[in-house]
Amino acid sequence: MKTHILCLGDSNTWGYNAQTGDRFPDDVRWTGVLQNLLGPAFRVLEEGQPGRTTVWDDPIEEHRNGQIALYSTLECQSPVDLVILMLGTNDLRFTDAWGAAEGAAALVKKIRLYNRMEESTHIFSGKPRILLIAPILARADLDNRDVIERRRSYPQKSRGFAAAYAAVAAELGVEFLDAAAYADPSAVDGIHMEASGHAALGEAVARKVREIFAGE
């Protein structure tokens, strides 16, 4: 039996290439790197959507609220052995890092709730496992560049990601990883990973996954 890993995220999980506006190839995205490193005993399931938030509605870009899509996504991909959650950058349109972390906490709680629902398919094949990843930081010079106005506050807000997400992970008893410790934002748009960042993050997540399933 393969070990199934579901990766829920935004454009940095979808694999947006800031230089071209296209999507990085399968084996370049961090999810693809993860798959290649873990090998055939694992199956990595990608669920990244550009613009996705944790729990926030965007009246301009509809259908981006991760909480609304959560149940159908989980049921479609279930059963899984591990859910990896990396969302929050797009939350900075509406809140700060701690608000984004609270949104991520709400998703963790929903995942656990859905797993316990008698009338639904259980999300996890066995023990519920969740890895919460704090998103990468926005480039420090983003507020001085010709960017979308709403992104000018991203650098300051994003600096709190690691502390906020680590606190939520500890409180909820889930695994934690700080993406910013391994990947930097692109010099092009200041918020998306380059191919090198995808490679480094994929390697870090692979090590973490092996730790989570060590001895099994």
Amino acid 150: pLDDT: 63
Task: Say which DSSP state 25 is in.
Answer: -
Rounded average pLDDT over 168-179: 98
Distance CA 95, CA 106 (A): 15
Note whether 132 and 83 are within 8 A (CB): no
Amino acid 152: pLDDT: 66
Note whether 5 and 202 are within 8 A (CB): no
Task: Say which DSSP state 50 is in.
Answer: T
Amino acid 58: pLDDT: 84
Note whether 187 and 197 are within 8 A (CB): no
Query: Strand, helix or coil at 187?
Result: coil
Amino acid 208: pLDDT: 98
Of 209 and 145, the one with more pLDDT: 209
212 has pLDDT over 70: yes
Query: Strand, helix or coil at 23?
Result: strand
Rounded average pLDDT over 11-38: 97
Distance CA 23, CA 176 (A): 26
What is the value of pTM for the model shown? 0.94
192 has pLDDT over 90: yes
Query: Strand, helix or coil at 9?
Result: strand
Tens digit of each residue's pLDDT (9 = 90 or more) over 125-161: 999 999 999 999 998 775 545 455 567 688 889 999 9
Distance CA 109, CA 147 (A): 35
| Model confidence band, residue 9 (pLDDT cutoffs 50, 70, 90) | very high
Amino acid 14: pLDDT: 98
Task: Say which DSSP state 21 is in.
Answer: S
